Amino acid sequence: MSGAVTTGADIRIEGLCKTFGEGRRAAKVLRNVSLTVPAGSIACVVGQSGCGKSTFLRVLAGLETTYDGSVLLGKQPLHGPGLDRGVVFQEHRLLPWLTVEQNVAFALKGLSRYETRRCVMRCLKRVGLGSCARQYPYLLSGGMAQRVAIARALVNQPKILLLDEPFGALDALTKLQMQQEILALWEQEKTTLVLVTHDIDEAVFLADRIVVMAPGGAQTVKETIDVALPRPRDRNAAAFIALRKEILSFLFDQEKKLRRKA
Protein backbone atom coordinates (compact mmCIF):
# COMPACT_ATOMS: atom_id res chain seq x y z
CA MET A 1 0.00 0.00 0.00
CA SER A 2 1.47 3.33 -1.00
CA GLY A 3 0.64 6.48 0.88
CA ALA A 4 -1.67 7.53 -1.96
CA VAL A 5 -5.41 7.44 -1.53
CA THR A 6 -7.07 4.53 -3.32
CA THR A 7 -10.03 5.43 -5.45
CA GLY A 8 -12.93 3.03 -5.30
CA ALA A 9 -14.63 1.55 -8.33
CA ASP A 10 -18.37 1.56 -8.75
CA ILE A 11 -20.29 -1.70 -8.91
CA ARG A 12 -23.15 -2.16 -11.37
CA ILE A 13 -25.25 -5.26 -11.10
CA GLU A 14 -28.04 -6.05 -13.56
CA GLY A 15 -30.46 -8.95 -13.27
CA LEU A 16 -28.15 -11.13 -11.19
CA CYS A 17 -29.56 -14.61 -10.57
CA LYS A 18 -27.80 -17.44 -8.78
CA THR A 19 -29.13 -20.96 -8.53
CA PHE A 20 -27.63 -23.86 -6.60
CA GLY A 21 -28.30 -27.39 -7.79
CA GLU A 22 -30.14 -28.56 -10.87
CA GLY A 23 -33.54 -29.84 -11.97
CA ARG A 24 -36.07 -30.46 -9.20
CA ARG A 25 -33.45 -29.76 -6.57
CA ALA A 26 -32.53 -26.35 -7.97
CA ALA A 27 -32.68 -23.57 -5.40
CA LYS A 28 -32.83 -20.05 -6.77
CA VAL A 29 -31.02 -18.08 -4.12
CA LEU A 30 -30.50 -14.73 -5.85
CA ARG A 31 -33.37 -13.48 -7.98
CA ASN A 32 -33.03 -10.54 -10.29
CA VAL A 33 -30.64 -8.47 -8.22
CA SER A 34 -30.10 -5.08 -9.84
CA LEU A 35 -28.09 -2.62 -7.87
CA THR A 36 -25.52 0.14 -8.18
CA VAL A 37 -22.92 0.92 -5.55
CA PRO A 38 -21.31 4.28 -6.40
CA ALA A 39 -17.50 4.46 -6.28
CA GLY A 40 -16.19 5.25 -2.82
CA SER A 41 -19.51 4.70 -1.06
CA ILE A 42 -20.62 2.18 1.58
CA ALA A 43 -23.42 -0.28 0.84
CA CYS A 44 -24.68 -2.52 3.62
CA VAL A 45 -26.65 -5.64 2.75
CA VAL A 46 -29.09 -6.73 5.45
CA GLY A 47 -31.53 -9.61 5.65
CA GLN A 48 -32.36 -12.69 7.66
CA SER A 49 -30.13 -15.73 7.71
CA GLY A 50 -30.30 -17.78 4.52
CA CYS A 51 -31.61 -15.02 2.24
CA GLY A 52 -28.48 -15.06 0.07
CA LYS A 53 -26.25 -12.31 1.52
CA SER A 54 -23.06 -14.39 1.54
CA THR A 55 -23.83 -15.81 -1.88
CA PHE A 56 -24.18 -12.26 -3.18
CA LEU A 57 -20.83 -11.25 -1.69
CA ARG A 58 -19.16 -14.42 -2.99
CA VAL A 59 -20.34 -13.56 -6.50
CA LEU A 60 -18.77 -10.08 -6.16
CA ALA A 61 -15.59 -11.65 -4.78
CA GLY A 62 -15.42 -13.89 -7.86
CA LEU A 63 -15.75 -17.02 -5.75
CA GLU A 64 -19.05 -18.05 -7.39
CA THR A 65 -18.47 -18.21 -11.11
CA THR A 66 -21.78 -19.53 -12.45
CA TYR A 67 -24.61 -17.00 -12.40
CA ASP A 68 -26.88 -15.14 -14.78
CA GLY A 69 -26.91 -11.40 -15.25
CA SER A 70 -24.11 -8.91 -15.45
CA VAL A 71 -21.72 -7.46 -12.88
CA LEU A 72 -19.43 -4.56 -13.75
CA LEU A 73 -16.62 -3.47 -11.44
CA GLY A 74 -15.70 -0.02 -12.68
CA LYS A 75 -15.82 -0.55 -16.44
CA GLN A 76 -14.67 -4.17 -16.29
CA PRO A 77 -17.00 -7.18 -16.31
CA LEU A 78 -16.49 -9.34 -13.23
CA HIS A 79 -14.15 -12.19 -14.03
CA GLY A 80 -13.13 -14.41 -11.12
CA PRO A 81 -11.23 -13.29 -8.01
CA GLY A 82 -8.82 -10.36 -8.38
CA LEU A 83 -6.49 -8.06 -6.48
CA ASP A 84 -8.89 -5.18 -7.14
CA ARG A 85 -11.07 -6.66 -4.37
CA GLY A 86 -10.22 -7.34 -0.75
CA VAL A 87 -12.42 -9.79 1.14
CA VAL A 88 -13.01 -10.14 4.89
CA PHE A 89 -15.08 -13.01 6.29
CA GLN A 90 -16.78 -13.43 9.65
CA GLU A 91 -13.96 -15.67 10.83
CA HIS A 92 -10.49 -14.18 10.35
CA ARG A 93 -9.07 -17.12 8.31
CA LEU A 94 -5.50 -16.31 9.35
CA LEU A 95 -2.94 -19.06 8.86
CA PRO A 96 -1.95 -20.17 12.39
CA TRP A 97 1.61 -21.15 11.46
CA LEU A 98 2.44 -17.68 10.11
CA THR A 99 3.04 -14.51 12.09
CA VAL A 100 0.72 -11.52 11.73
CA GLU A 101 3.19 -9.89 9.36
CA GLN A 102 3.55 -13.05 7.26
CA ASN A 103 -0.22 -13.48 7.10
CA VAL A 104 -0.68 -9.98 5.73
CA ALA A 105 2.25 -10.41 3.32
CA PHE A 106 0.84 -13.72 2.05
CA ALA A 107 -1.34 -12.07 -0.60
CA LEU A 108 1.40 -9.72 -1.83
CA LYS A 109 3.43 -10.93 -4.77
CA GLY A 110 6.26 -9.50 -6.81
CA LEU A 111 7.61 -6.95 -4.34
CA SER A 112 11.11 -6.92 -2.86
CA ARG A 113 11.45 -7.98 0.78
CA TYR A 114 11.97 -4.38 1.76
CA GLU A 115 8.90 -3.17 -0.16
CA THR A 116 6.77 -6.03 1.18
CA ARG A 117 7.67 -5.21 4.76
CA ARG A 118 7.05 -1.51 4.24
CA CYS A 119 3.68 -2.21 2.69
CA VAL A 120 2.63 -4.73 5.34
CA MET A 121 3.70 -2.50 8.22
CA ARG A 122 1.78 0.44 6.78
CA CYS A 123 -1.38 -1.70 6.62
CA LEU A 124 -0.87 -3.02 10.14
CA LYS A 125 -0.38 0.52 11.45
CA ARG A 126 -3.60 1.58 9.72
CA VAL A 127 -5.49 -0.98 11.81
CA GLY A 128 -3.55 -0.08 14.97
CA LEU A 129 -1.46 -3.26 15.11
CA GLY A 130 2.00 -2.02 14.18
CA SER A 131 3.43 -3.54 17.35
CA CYS A 132 1.96 -7.04 16.79
CA ALA A 133 3.75 -7.90 13.54
CA ARG A 134 5.77 -10.79 14.98
CA GLN A 135 2.98 -12.35 17.03
CA TYR A 136 1.17 -15.53 16.02
CA PRO A 137 -2.63 -15.48 15.54
CA TYR A 138 -3.34 -17.62 18.65
CA LEU A 139 -2.10 -14.74 20.81
CA LEU A 140 -4.61 -12.26 19.38
CA SER A 141 -8.07 -11.38 20.67
CA GLY A 142 -11.02 -11.77 18.28
CA GLY A 143 -11.01 -8.04 17.50
CA MET A 144 -7.25 -7.99 16.86
CA ALA A 145 -7.43 -11.03 14.58
CA GLN A 146 -10.19 -9.37 12.59
CA ARG A 147 -8.09 -6.20 12.31
CA VAL A 148 -5.30 -8.32 10.83
CA ALA A 149 -7.80 -9.80 8.36
CA ILE A 150 -8.77 -6.26 7.36
CA ALA A 151 -5.08 -5.29 6.97
CA ARG A 152 -4.61 -8.37 4.77
CA ALA A 153 -7.59 -7.35 2.64
CA LEU A 154 -6.15 -3.84 2.22
CA VAL A 155 -2.61 -4.86 1.35
CA ASN A 156 -3.12 -4.82 -2.43
CA GLN A 157 -4.87 -1.45 -2.32
CA PRO A 158 -8.18 -2.86 -3.52
CA LYS A 159 -10.71 -0.60 -5.19
CA ILE A 160 -13.47 -2.58 -3.51
CA LEU A 161 -13.61 -4.03 -0.01
CA LEU A 162 -16.11 -6.85 0.57
CA LEU A 163 -16.95 -7.77 4.16
CA ASP A 164 -19.21 -10.65 5.17
CA GLU A 165 -20.48 -10.16 8.74
CA PRO A 166 -16.97 -9.09 9.74
CA PHE A 167 -17.93 -8.18 13.31
CA GLY A 168 -20.55 -10.89 13.82
CA ALA A 169 -18.39 -12.98 16.15
CA LEU A 170 -17.12 -10.10 18.30
CA ASP A 171 -18.37 -8.96 21.70
CA ALA A 172 -20.71 -5.95 21.72
CA LEU A 173 -18.14 -3.34 22.76
CA THR A 174 -15.42 -4.51 20.34
CA LYS A 175 -18.00 -4.55 17.59
CA LEU A 176 -18.88 -0.88 18.21
CA GLN A 177 -15.17 0.01 18.21
CA MET A 178 -14.59 -1.89 14.97
CA GLN A 179 -17.50 -0.10 13.30
CA GLN A 180 -15.84 3.24 14.13
CA GLU A 181 -12.49 1.94 12.91
CA ILE A 182 -13.77 0.64 9.59
CA LEU A 183 -15.39 4.02 9.00
CA ALA A 184 -12.12 5.84 9.76
CA LEU A 185 -10.27 3.47 7.41
CA TRP A 186 -12.84 3.99 4.68
CA GLU A 187 -12.51 7.77 5.07
CA GLN A 188 -8.74 7.43 4.51
CA GLU A 189 -8.79 4.81 1.76
CA LYS A 190 -11.91 5.85 -0.17
CA THR A 191 -12.50 2.31 -1.36
CA THR A 192 -15.99 1.18 -2.31
CA LEU A 193 -17.25 -0.88 0.58
CA VAL A 194 -19.90 -3.62 0.54
CA LEU A 195 -20.64 -4.98 3.99
CA VAL A 196 -23.04 -7.81 4.72
CA THR A 197 -24.59 -7.82 8.17
CA HIS A 198 -27.65 -9.03 10.01
CA ASP A 199 -27.20 -6.13 12.43
CA ILE A 200 -29.57 -3.34 11.38
CA ASP A 201 -27.93 -0.90 13.80
CA GLU A 202 -24.57 -1.52 12.14
CA ALA A 203 -26.06 -0.91 8.69
CA VAL A 204 -27.69 2.39 9.71
CA PHE A 205 -24.45 3.50 11.39
CA LEU A 206 -22.23 2.74 8.39
CA ALA A 207 -24.15 2.78 5.13
CA ASP A 208 -24.72 5.31 2.41
CA ARG A 209 -27.11 2.78 0.92
CA ILE A 210 -28.86 -0.10 2.67
CA VAL A 211 -29.88 -3.06 0.56
CA VAL A 212 -32.66 -5.09 2.17
CA MET A 213 -32.80 -8.70 1.06
CA ALA A 214 -35.40 -11.36 1.77
CA PRO A 215 -35.95 -14.82 0.31
CA GLY A 216 -38.82 -15.64 -2.06
CA GLY A 217 -40.68 -13.51 -4.57
CA ALA A 218 -39.47 -12.35 -7.95
CA GLN A 219 -36.67 -10.23 -6.50
CA THR A 220 -34.25 -10.91 -3.67
CA VAL A 221 -33.61 -7.20 -3.07
CA LYS A 222 -36.84 -5.91 -1.60
CA GLU A 223 -35.74 -2.38 -0.99
CA THR A 224 -32.74 -0.05 -1.25
CA ILE A 225 -32.62 2.85 1.14
CA ASP A 226 -30.25 5.81 0.78
CA VAL A 227 -29.12 6.99 4.18
CA ALA A 228 -28.58 10.73 4.22
CA LEU A 229 -27.74 11.03 7.94
CA PRO A 230 -24.55 13.06 8.49
CA ARG A 231 -21.48 11.33 9.96
CA PRO A 232 -20.47 10.69 12.68
CA ARG A 233 -23.91 9.23 13.28
CA ASP A 234 -25.59 9.37 16.64
CA ARG A 235 -27.26 6.05 17.39
CA ASN A 236 -29.65 7.80 19.75
CA ALA A 237 -30.78 10.45 17.27
CA ALA A 238 -34.48 10.31 16.38
CA ALA A 239 -33.78 9.89 12.65
CA PHE A 240 -31.38 6.98 13.35
CA ILE A 241 -33.89 5.19 15.55
CA ALA A 242 -36.72 5.79 13.08
CA LEU A 243 -34.74 4.29 10.20
CA ARG A 244 -33.72 1.25 12.26
CA LYS A 245 -37.36 0.72 13.21
CA GLU A 246 -38.52 1.06 9.60
CA ILE A 247 -36.06 -1.58 8.36
CA LEU A 248 -36.81 -3.96 11.23
CA SER A 249 -40.56 -3.79 10.73
CA PHE A 250 -40.07 -4.25 6.99
CA LEU A 251 -38.06 -7.43 7.64
CA PHE A 252 -40.66 -8.70 10.12
CA ASP A 253 -43.38 -8.14 7.51
CA GLN A 254 -41.39 -10.10 4.93
CA GLU A 255 -40.93 -12.92 7.43
CA LYS A 256 -44.68 -12.98 8.16
CA LYS A 257 -45.51 -13.12 4.43
CA LEU A 258 -43.10 -16.01 3.98
CA ARG A 259 -44.64 -17.95 6.88
CA ARG A 260 -48.13 -17.43 5.52
CA LYS A 261 -47.04 -18.91 2.18
CA ALA A 262 -45.30 -21.91 3.78
Ligand X SMILES: Nc1ncnc2c1ncn2[C@@H]1O[C@H](COP(=O)(O)OP(=O)(O)O)[C@@H](O)[C@H]1O
- Binding-site ranges for Mg ion (CB under 5 A): 54
Strand partners, 45: 196, 211
> Among Mg ion, ligand X, none, what binds residue 52 when CB lies within 5 to 8 Å by partner kind?
ligand X
Q: Is 54 one of the binding residues for ligand X (CB under 6 A)?
A: yes
Local structure of residue 88 (DSSP, 8 states): E
Q: By C-beta, is 144 or 251 nearer to ligand X? A: 251
Phi, psi of 60 (to 5 degrees): -65, -35
What does 51 bind: Mg ion, ligand X, none (CB cut-off 5 to 8 Å by kind)? ligand X
Decide the pairing of beta strands 221-226 and 42-46: unpaired
The pattern of x and - marking residues 201 through 240 that bind ligand X according to CB under 6 A reads ----------------------------------------
Spatial strand order of the sheet with 192-196 comes to 85-88, 160-164, 192-196, 42-46, 209-213, 221-226
**Residue 29 site contact among Mg ion, ligand X, none (CB < 5 to 8 Å, cut-off depends on kind):** ligand X
User: Binding residue for ligand X (CB under 6 A) from 5, 14, 15, 50?
Assistant: 50
Whole-number minimum distance, CB 51 to ligand X, in Å?
Answer: 4
Whats the size of the chain, residue-wise? 262
User: Which of 43, 51, 145, 243 forms a contact with ligand X (CB under 6 A)?
Assistant: 51
Amino acid identity of 248?
L
Q: Does 55 bind ligand X (CB under 6 A)?
A: yes
Q: Among 13, 29, 42, 133, which residue interacts with ligand X (rule: CB under 6 A)?
A: 29
**Residue 197 found at the interface with ligand X (CB under 6 A):** no
Exactly one of 14, 15, 20, 83 binds ligand X (CB under 6 A); that residue is 20
Q: Pairing relation of β-strands 209-213 and 42-46?
A: parallel
Residues 236 and 201: beta-carbon distance below 8 Å: no
The H-or-E segment that residue 118 falls in is helix 113-126
Cβ nearer to ligand X, comparing 17 with 241: 17
131 class by beta-carbon count within 10 Å (0-12 exposed, 13-18 middle, 19+ buried): exposed
Q: If DSSP codes are grouped into helix, strand and coil, which group holds residue 148?
A: helix
Which parts of this chain interact with ligand X (CB under 6 A)? 20, 27, 29, 47, 49-55
